[in-house]
A and B are shown apart, each in its own frame.
Chain A
């Protein structure tokens, strides 16, 4: 990752800047939204994903410490993803887990957790009738960095 930031530094003009957007390495939440009310189904536990983005955070800290970039601004925001059905969400989340997993790392527990969440969401959606929406809420941060 540090090497990647060095490459970015080389590609940038001296008065240019880098915008880094990535998920905050904490659990995202699965929610049911209905008539302005939000019910928490559960939290997504994707440790592999979190480990990778924690490493990205560390790399960012390192390039700042080494004086390659300096942070000008940093804030948090949230992105919401709306799914038409619980099975659709389950499939999408399982694909994300498999995309990020490292070779040889076990993912059975994480996949099984997603399946449980999807089943719980399915039950709640059916109980809430057609008006309810299934939502994944992910906290992200955005930073503006200046090359030194």
Chain B
């Protein structure tokens, strides 16, 4: 079993760039939620999208109870998600290793 970024270099870089307090966040390309868990408890709400339904199923399965009301995982591309979203709703968008 591989271990990705145990040094937490990625979340450390993210926290240097963003204060998540009271923010409504959209994460594009969330995968299995690996990065999402690091900041979700600090944000007001997180919408995390990922085209792979398999990855979203893993993310939902691993979603901690205390984050259930704060994090919403959806299997969707950015195009699909944007088509049904109102404008100007997010304080912060994270494009994480995603080519959209």
Contact = CB atoms under 8 A, between A and B. Distances in A.
Q: Do A and B bind each other?
A: yes
A15 B91 CA distance: 7
Interface in A1-44: 1, 4, 7-8, 10-23
Interface stretch (A73-81, A105-113, A115-123): A73-81
A18 B97 CA distance: 13
Nearest to A55: B99
B79 interface: yes
B64 interface: no
B36 to A, nearest CB: 13
Interface size class of A (residues with CB under 8 A): 35 or more
Interface string B12-26: 111011100000001
Interface of B: 1-7, 9-10, 12-14, 16-18, 26, 28, 78-79, 82, 85, 87-100
Interface of A: 1, 4, 7-8, 10-23, 52-53, 55-56, 73, 75, 77-84, 88-89, 92, 140, 142, 144
